[in-house]
Amino acid sequence: MARCAGITAAGDRCKAEAMPDAEWCWNHHPDYDQARRRRASKGGKRGGRGRPQRETEDIKALLEDLTERVLAGELETGPAAVSNQLINTRLRALEQERKNKEAQELEARIEALERAQERGAGRWGLRAVPRTTTPSRASIIPQRGTARTSPRGNSSSAGQRRGARGAAGS
């Protein structure tokens, strides 16, 4: 494969392999500029790698404070229960917000794949490359209802396990 023709920020030639039928790698290919910008804009906005999101930490702190005050007798259980319900409502709203954002991102990815497919590109937006012969999924994964054999020669079919247990338990 050919090397990418792109130039790095340090001024050196990129050492990555070029994509099939292109002179650039994914990081330097001009057709993927918008996708790179979208990914870069997400950097640091999400919690991850041990960095919890700020709102979740605030809610944890509220719950901890609420618990301590109830247990210390500083707050009656009635107002504490209402506070807990409000905090749970806030958590549900955050979860729904996360799901909506995830759905939007998936929708954008699907649309991008559909556009790439319309352009005649193959899988992952690249041009189709002839595949080598590989076994089909059906020949690798047993069909439902068929018994699989473990390395010891024991059957691992769920139906047979239930039958064996039922006979032993009778």
pLDDT at residue 52 greater than cutoff 80 = no
Rounded mean pLDDT of the chain? 75
**How many other CB atoms are found less than 10 A from the CB of residue 71?**
10
More confident of the two residues 101 and 146 = 101
- Distances 141 to 39, 131, 147, 152, 158 between C-alpha atoms, Å: 35, 20, 11, 19, 16
Mean pLDDT across 129-149: 55
What pTM was computed for the model? 0.40
SS3 at position 94: helix
Which are the contacts of 112, defined by CB distance < 8 A and separation ≥ 6?
35, 125
pLDDT greater than 70 at residue 169: no
Nearest one of 39, 20, 40 to 105, comparing CA atoms: 39
Higher-confidence residue: 97 or 141? 97
> From CA 70, how far away is CA 65, in angstroms rounded?
9
